[in-house]
Amino acid sequence: MASDWVAVMPVKRLTAAKSRLRGAVPAARHADLALAMVRDTATAVLAAATVTELLVVTDDQVAAAAVAALGARVVPDRPDAGLNEAMRYGADEVAGLSRYRAVLAGDLPALRPGQLDAALAAAGPGRGFVADAAGSGTVLLAAPAGEPLDPRFGLGSAAAHAASGARPLEGDWPGLRQDVDTPADLATVLALGAGEHTCALLRDLGLKVACVSAA
């Protein structure tokens, strides 16, 4: 079992991120919500015992500064060709094929470090993926040293990853599986226990939400 994973997280420009989530908070604070979720995800990843480095691929300067302050390494999205190319670039070119690599979504504000550790412990020897709560999407794709990542994120990505030979990783990891695409997803995350940055933003907006600590 590897204990020296490089986690790779692509982050879109905040102004263009999470379009289906618009309306969950006032329009002027939409980018702030996207950033808060990125910060909570990065905080949990960096606290995972099996992760030795978090590599964030982004061209958004605000997001870059925020995750760098938390301890992440930031590189620009040189391919600038979409999510899968950003993931492949970060994992296979920047981190390198000699490392154990796991790419994950940046909208997992209820992620607990222990859940990520458990998922990575279940990975290997080949590629493995964690499906989202709905079962059709993917929140994490892991690749061992020497094997290309070959990401297939997008509509129906869980089936696409399985068809590509990746093994589904099974476990009770609700915070890892629950990404946030819609206002309903955000409500589910708050019930699970969102991180401090997401909770602080919502409270700053005066929303009466019961944020349970994700620690």
List of the chain residues with pLDDT < 50 = 214-215
Q: Residues near 69 by Cβ (< 8 Å), separated by ≥ 6?
A: none
SS3 168: strand
Residues within the annotated binding site for phosphoenolpyruvate? 138, 154, 157
pLDDT of residue 24: 84
What is the distance between the alpha carbons of residues 122 and 15, in angstroms, rounded to a whole number?
Answer: 35
| Segment 61-86, tens digit of pLDDT | 999 999 999 999 999 999 999 999 99
The count of C-alpha atoms lying within 13 angstroms of the C-alpha of 121, restricted to the half-sphere facing its C-beta, is 11
Residues within the annotated binding site? 138, 154, 157
What is the distance between the alpha carbons of residues 181 and 75, in angstroms, rounded to a whole number?
Answer: 25
Asked if residue 24 lies in contact with residue 107, where contact means CB atoms within 8 angstroms, the answer is no
- The pairing of strands 101-104 and 138-143 is antiparallel
- The pairing of strands 101-104 and 167-168 is unpaired
